[in-house]
Every structure is written in C-alpha cells, then in structure tokens.
Amino acid sequence: MSRTAYAYTPGIKIKFSEVIQKVRKLPIPGKVKVSLGEEVKAEDVIASTEMPSVPEILNAALMLGVEPEELQEYVKKKVGEKTRKGEIVAEYKALGGLIKKTVVAPFDGEIVDVSTVTGQIVLRRPPTLVDLKAYIPGKIVEIIPDFGAVVETRGAIVQGIFGLGGEKVGNLRISVNSETEPLTESMISEEDENKIIVGGSYTTYDVLKKANKIGVAGIIVGGVDQIDIVKFLSRELGVAITGKEPGLTLIITEGFGKMNMSKRAFELLKKFDGFKCSINGQTQIRAGVIRPEIIIPHSLKMEDSGKEGGDEGITIGTPVRIIRRPYFGKVGRVLALPSELMEIETESRVRVLEVTLEDGKKVVVPRANVEILTI
C-alpha cells in the first residue's frame, strides 16, 4: 500500500458541460408562477411576493401637545386606512381654531397602530413587490410550494475566486487575445451596454468606472488591485458576504493584483464568445464557501468535462491557490503534507501543508486555506 501523502481540498470548477441546478427561493412566502416540467428563460419571473416595509413611528401626542391617552380623539384615520403623503392624520384645535397643530403623513402608506400608551402613530409604507427570476434558462424540475422552484440546465461553468455585484444576464464578449492581456479602457465602447466582458490578466479602476457608466453588465478578469476595488466601491472591503453591491458585476478568477487568468478558464470562455450567459459575483470565503460564477447554457457536443477540484486529492506537487490572507490569491505547488497537527495564529491546532510559491518562497498554511488549481 502506498504511503504517499494525500489529502482532499476544494477546487474551482472549470467545466465545459455539466448538469446545473439552481434553487430559486423567495425570502418570504409568495406565489409560484411556474409548473413542473415547464421550460423557462433566464429573465422569466418564476415566483413573486410582497415584502412588507419596516414600520415608522410618529410621536403624535408630543407633536400635538396632548397626553398619550387623549390621542385617539384627535386621530382622523382608523387603523388599516390608507394615507397619502402630506395628508393630515391627526389634528388638535383650541380657542376656536386659533391654535391648531397637525400631524401629517410623511409618505404614502397606511395606519398600522395608534397607541394611547406611548402616544405614537405607527405607519407603514406600501409593500415592495419582489419578483424572483429564473436566472438561468432551463426546465423546472422541482416546485418549492409558496417559495419558488429548482431550475435545471446543461452548460459550461467557470467559478472565480472573488466577486462583487449580483446576478446578471448578458452576452459574453471576449475583448482580449490571450489570458495574459489586460482589459483597457479603449477595449470598451457604448456597444457593450448589457454585455459581459472577458479580459485577461488585469483591469483598473478607470476601466471599471467607464464600464459602469456605459451600463456593462459584468467584467471577468484574472486580477484587480484591491485599492482599485476600494476606490470603485468608495468604501473598504469587508469580511462579510458580497453580492449586494450596485452597478456592474465583477468576477476575479485568480486573485488581487496583476494575475493572468488561468489558460483553461480563458480558453473555455473563448469558445462561448457571443453566447448568452448568467453571472453572479456573490462571494463568501469563510465558512460555507460561496464562489462567484459564470454559467453558459449550451447544447454543444461534449469536449471534456474538465477537472473539478471538489473531489480531487491533493498530493506532493499538486498546483494550488491560497484563498485566505496573508497569501490570498498566491499560486504554488505543494511541497509537503505534514501528518502532525500544527498550531496557527488563532491557537487552534490544524492540519497544514507547505507550499512553494511561484516566486520560490516557501509558506505553511492550513489545508482548508487552499484549493486545487486546474492548469
């Protein structure tokens, strides 16, 4: 029996064709608008609901100059009645109208409560309509009663290492000739509105700003400087989940800085130049990993299913990418797989591996902090 060191570690998907399922669920119960077996487009609304707004409070008794227990006699609207912005909802008059105080609705909505204990009137804005789209074209293979459905398709999938922005659908456009070529301002024009642009090694704040102004749906590149992302967002990057950022969706396939997109990922995307695709920049790199993704539904003949790191073993010499700080995005090869547990900065004892980075530097990192790199 071989004594070769061997471990399992997650990897990024780069696959030409696989069955892809997406669970689409509303945040609260609503109405499902599709049926089992139905074919849907990415833009189709498959479920909808009305999201109630947060109640807002008016200190009405204080505004009128009356005691809380007296408030009810001055309120002109009943609980459940609609209000219009600027409409008087409570009024106090004295001395034949010489003294007059009013409480007006600050927005369109309805009266939720009138409290004679606190002296407050509670209003609520109209609910927000939430439409849940399919996100990918395909067949409805499962109905989730009151919440949504599962959509299934076959297509290519490429996962990134970091992303910003939510779900977008658009036509893919390859803007560079190779994975080593950066995406520059001159490569983007007004014709790229609603398109998803693929660069190579790098892009900058100026490119992101121009693309966002034009209305580009998404940008996919190997790397971006973290300072440019901070400038683009006008705030520091947090450690929480991303995906709610407004504007275009950005997917970084390799890491921060100037980093060539992996040749395998670039060549796969290049095959689908002009195809309609779905992308999502949502990322979580802590517990419960969520990766940004590019999904390209197609019915082309299977070339090869690609390698998927999720079920692969990691051995000496395996190419890996580090996905945690302080070496986030660095690429190298496994040099050693020590069997003993090692104490890390958090004082936890975990299994580690030694990696030789591309610049020759040797580092020791927890095994959970790397993923297999498909070359």
Q: What would the two tokens of residue 234 be? A: 């006008």
Say what the pLDDT of residue 309 is: 41
Tokens linked to 312: 């692969």
Q: Does residue 86 sit in the same domain as residue 189? A: no
CATH number reported for the structural domain that contains residue 326 in this entry: 2.30.30.30
Residue 371: per-residue pLDDT: 80
Inside any domain, residue 259: yes
Domain shared by 109 and 60, yes or no: yes
Do 177 and 274 belong together in one domain? yes
How far does the chain reach from its first CA to its final CA, in angstroms? 29
335 vs 372: CA distance, rounded Å: 14
Enumerate residue ranges in the chain where pLDDT < 50. Answer: 1-9, 304-311
Strand order in the sheet with 31-32: 31-32, 45-51, 128-133
Q: What is the pLDDT of residue 302?
A: 62
CA-CA-CA-CA torsion sign (348, 353, 358, 363): positive
Q: How many domains does the chain have?
A: 3
3 lies in some domain = no
- Select from 270, 297, 324 the last residue of a domain: 297
Q: What is the pLDDT of residue 284?
A: 87
Where residue 195 falls (left for φ over 0; alpha for ψ -120 to 50; beta otherwise) is beta
Residue 164: which residues within 8 A CB-CB, separation 6 or more?
229, 233, 242, 243, 245, 249, 250, 281, 283
Looking at the domain assignment, is residue 115 inside a domain? yes
Does a structural domain hold residue 155?
Answer: yes
pLDDT confidence of residue 344: 74
| Among candidate residues 275, 36, 265, 17, the one with its CA nearest the CA of residue 154 | 17
In a domain, 114, yes or no: yes
Q: Do 71 and 141 reside in the same domain of the chain?
A: no
* pLDDT value for 338: 87
Residue 9 maps to a domain: no
Per residue, the 3-state secondary structure of 86-145, as one string, reads: CCEEEEEEEHHHCEEEEEECCCCEEEEEECCCCCCEEEECCCEEEEEECCCCEEEEEEEC
What is the predicted pLDDT for the residue at 372?
80
Q: What is the pLDDT of residues 210-243, one digit of tens each?
A: 999 999 999 999 999 999 999 999 888 766 789 9
Residue 6 included in any domain: no
- What's the pLDDT score for residue 232? 94
**pLDDT in the model for residue 103:** 95
User: Exposed, middle or buried: residue 189 (CB in 10 Å: 0-12, 13-18, 19+)?
Assistant: exposed
Based on the fold, state whether residues 111 and 150 are members of the same structural domain. no
Same domain, 158 and 283: yes
- pTM, entire model: 0.77
pLDDT at 168: 98
Position 287 scores a pLDDT of 63
For residue 164, list its beta bridge partners.
250
Range of the domain at 255: 14-49+134-297
